Amino acid sequence: MRVISGSAKGRPLKAVPGMGTRPTTDKVKEAIFSMIGPYFAGGSVLDLFAGTGGLGIEALSRGMDAAVFIDADKKSVEVVHANLQAARLESKAEVYRNDAIRALKVLGKRGTKFDLVFLDPPYKMTAIAEMIQTMLELGLLADDATVVIEHDASNVWEESIGDLFRKKHVEYGETAVSVYKRELGYESEGRGNDERTEA
């Protein structure tokens, strides 16, 4: 794994030891940032279920100002710290070991707002819509926020969650990426662009 583009381009990233974490492949990562970027003029990113931190680090490398990384696993948190150091992006990041919902409540109390959110939970977790709804209720999403979900291709999420609407759904073998955009005051434009790509 590596940082694909931006200020930290080419920097190698460590994987989390063991089989409990499923890192985003470089191919899927490149596809994600082609859909949502590929570069940013500032903003804040939340990497929930951070794993290696690869998605949040890529966003920082491509121009985001600040990132918050959350994971409940001690090894993952250690790897995120190591990867931020390798990418020389520690000064732009906060890393916390916490349960996702508890972490969201803490961030909500701080009045934090995110322009970009990555959700890459264990594939067995299906309460993603409820988690996004919690973010909305806590005021964690900026008015034009983008939420990216990496999930099992057998799961298809709702076309809209609150005032977020699905703009992209792309499949890469067993992995799928769904991109939601917050559009205050707009009605759903429908399913968006769905694609299937060979792994």
pLDDT in the model for residue 197: 43
pLDDT > 70 in the chain, percent: 90
Q: Is residue 89 part of a domain?
A: yes
Strand pairing report for 164-172 and 175-182: antiparallel
- Residue 35 φ/ψ, nearest 5 degrees: -80, -35
121 three-state secondary structure: coil
**Which structural domain range is residue 100 located in?**
26-34+65-186
Q: Using alpha carbons, list the distances in angstroms from residue 156 to 42, 81, 144, 176, 180.
A: 31, 32, 23, 9, 13
CATH of the domain at 108: 3.40.50.150
Enclosing H/E stretch for 114: strand 114-119
Of 16-20, 30-34, 181-185, highest mean pLDDT? 30-34
**128 and 119 Cβ atoms separated by less than 8 Å:** yes
Dump pLDDT digits (tens) for 83-126: 999 999 999 999 999 999 999 999 999 999 999 999 998 877 87
pLDDT in the model for residue 126: 77
Q: Which residues make beta-bridge pairs with 168?
A: 179, 193
d(CA 85, CA 46): 18
**8-state DSSP, 12:** B
Cβ-based burial of 35 (10 A; exposed 0-12, middle 13-18, buried ≥19):
middle
pLDDT in the model for residue 104: 96
pLDDT in the model for residue 19: 53
User: For 1-10, b where at least 16 C-beta lie within 10 A, e where not — what string?
Assistant: bebbbbebee
Dump pLDDT digits (tens) for 57-71: 999 999 999 999 999
Among the residue ranges 47-56, 84-93, 148-157, the one predicted with the least confidence is: 148-157
pLDDT in the model for residue 186: 58
pLDDT in the model for residue 22: 67
Q: Is residue 7 part of a domain?
A: no
pLDDT in the model for residue 98: 96
Q: Does the pLDDT of residue 149 top 80, yes or no?
A: yes
Q: How many domains does the chain have?
A: 1
Q: Is residue 17 part of a domain?
A: no
56: left (phi over 0), alpha (psi -120 to 50) or beta: alpha
Dump pLDDT digits (tens) for 166-180: 999 999 888 899 999
**8-state DSSP, 25:** P
pLDDT in the model for residue 174: 87
Q: Is residue 108 part of a domain?
A: yes
Dump pLDDT digits (tens) for 181-198: 998 765 444 444 454 444
Q: Is residue 198 part of a domain?
A: no
Q: Is residue 122 part of a domain?
A: yes
Q: Is residue 158 part of a domain?
A: yes
Q: Is residue 192 part of a domain?
A: no
pLDDT in the model for residue 169: 93
